[in-house]
Amino acid sequence: MKHIVTAAFLTLSALQASAQLSDEYKNQWNDPAIQQRIADGIRENRMGAFTIQFTDKEGNPISTGEVSVTQTRHDFYFGANGFMVKGFRNPKEDALYEVHFAKLFNFVTIPFYWPELEPEPGKLRFGKDSPYSYRRPAPDVVMEFVRKYNLTPKGHTLVWDNPRWSLPTWLPKDEKIMEQKISKRIQEIGERYGHDIQIWDVVNEVTDRHPDVLMPKDFALKAFKESERHFPNSNVFTLNFTTGIWGRSNKREYNADYLLTENLLLRNAKINAIGMQFHNFSEPEYEQILKGKAMTPSTLFHTLDLYADFNLPIHITEITVSALSEKGPEYQAIMTENYYKLWFSHPKVEGIIWWNLVDGTAAPARIKPDGTIVPGEDKWKGGLLNRDFTKKPAYDVLDRLINQEWRTNVTTSPKNNAVSYKGFYGTYKVVTQRNGKKYEKEVQFPKSGARTQVVVLD
C-alpha cells in the first residue's frame, strides 16, 4: 500500500528555522503584575506557618537540642503518566525511567484504557503477569511502582468515546448492551482498585466527543452515577477536558465545558475535581505561543479563575510542551517554568501532570484505511528526557522548582520546647537529640490540616 505523508511532517523544517521566542512573549510573562500575582499566589496558597512541639510520653513539654526539619514530600501533586513503567523491555532503561520519574514526581497516572485492559470479553489484564502491551502496563505492574516509590496513583480513564483508545472492537454497537458493559467495567475496576487508587478520570473529553461514535444516551452522567455506586465514597472523581478548554473560556460561563460541568453538578453527579489537558499538538499554535498570541498568562489565569466558580480542585491533567524549533529544548524549558509557576500559584490547582516523560514514547502514528499516515505524538518532542535518558533543560527546570525552590529545609534551636517556621505544605522529617540520643520523626502539614504538630520523644 502506498502511504501518503501528511503535510504536518513537511512543515517541520521550515518551522524549525523560523520559530523564535518573541519579545511580546517575554514581556507578557515578565509583566510586573503577572509576576507579582504568581509570587503572591505561591506564598499564600502553597505555604503555611507551622509549629512542632516536643513532649514526653505523658504529654509534658521537654527541651531538645538543635532541630533539623527536612521536607520529604509535597502535599501538592506533581506527576506524569506511568505508561512506560516496565515498558522498555530492557531492565537498564526500565531502571532509568523509574529513577528519573521518582526524582521529580509523587503522582502517577495509570492507564485503564478499555481495549488493552479487556482485549477479549471477560479477559482482564489486571495482574502483573498479563501479556505485554506497549504503553499499557497492567495496573498491578504500575501499583508495584507506586508502592516502591510512595507515589499517589490516579486511574485514567473509566469512560471515553474515542474508538481508537477507549472502545474495544468487540463492544456491540447497541446502546443498551454498551451501557450494561460499561457498568460492568466500572464495577470490576471499582471492586479491585477503588481502595488503592483514590483518584479517577471518570469521563474524558466529552465536549470534544466523536459524533459518529455510538454511545449510550447521557453516558457522562451515567458514568459518574455508576462510579459513585461502585467506588468508595472517599474516591475523587475528575471530569477531564481537552486542551480546548483554555481557548473556549473566552465565552465565559456559556462555553460548552462550563455548561457541561454545571449541568452534571445540578443533576448531582459526584464531580470532585475538574481536569484540564494542556497539549501543544499544532505547529500554528506553537508559533502563536512563541509570538505571545496563544496560551498567554492572562488566558491561563482567566480560565482558572472562571472554573474556580465551581469551588472544586483543578488538575492540569496532561501536559505536552513541544520542543520543535531549532531552539526547541531551550524554549520548552522557558515555557515549562512559566506554566508551572502560574499553575502552582493558583489557589484551586492541586495537581500538575506531565504526560510523556521520555521522548519517543508518546502515542504512536497510525495509518488510516486510505493509507494516510496520521503523525504520532512523538513528533512534538514533548518529553523531559531524550530517548537515551539524557536530561533536557525542562527536566532540570522542574528539578530546581520541585526539589529546591519549592521545598523547605530548616535547622534551628527550639524556643519554649517548640520550633516554628514557614514552609511548603507537605511531609517533613524531624531530626533532633535529647540526652545524647538521636531521634527521627515524621510530621505532616497538608494544606487542609492542622498547623501545629506534637512530636513525642521517649
* φ, ψ (nearest 5 deg) of residue 226: -65, -40
- Which grid coordinates are listed for 190? 471499582
3-state secondary structure of 283: helix
User: Is pLDDT of 442 > 70?
Assistant: yes
User: Is pLDDT of 16 > 70?
Assistant: no
Same fold, 23-65+413-456 and 73-395: no
pLDDT 10s digits, 375-390 = 689 999 999 999 999 9
As beta bridge partners, residue 437 has: 434
Strands 452-456 and 47-55 come out as: parallel
- Which grid coordinates are listed for 361? 514514547
Question: Hey, what CATH topology would domain 73-395 get?
Answer: TIM Barrel (3.20.20)
Residue ranges of the domains in the chain? 23-65+413-456, 73-395
Residue among 265, 350, 353, 344 at smallest CA distance from 82:
353
DSSP type of residue 401: I
Residue 458 has a pLDDT of: 81
Thinking of the domain 23-65+413-456, which architecture would CATH place it in? Sandwich (2.60)
Whole-prediction pTM: 0.94
| Dihedral (Cα; 309, 311, 315, 321), 10-degree rounding | 20
- Cβ atoms within 10 Å, residue 55: 15
As beta bridge partners, residue 53 has: 418, 454
The percent of residues above 90 in pLDDT, for the chain, comes to 91
Residue 374 has a pLDDT of: 67
Residue among 435, 386, 395, 427 at smallest CA distance from 409:
427
Residue 376 has a pLDDT of: 86
User: Is pLDDT of 371 > 70?
Assistant: no
Residue 424 has a pLDDT of: 98
Residue 364 has a pLDDT of: 85
Residue 18 has a pLDDT of: 59
What confidence tier does 1 reach under pLDDT thresholds 50, 70, 90?
very low
- Which grid coordinates are listed for 314? 483543578
pLDDT 10s digits, 188-199 = 999 999 999 999
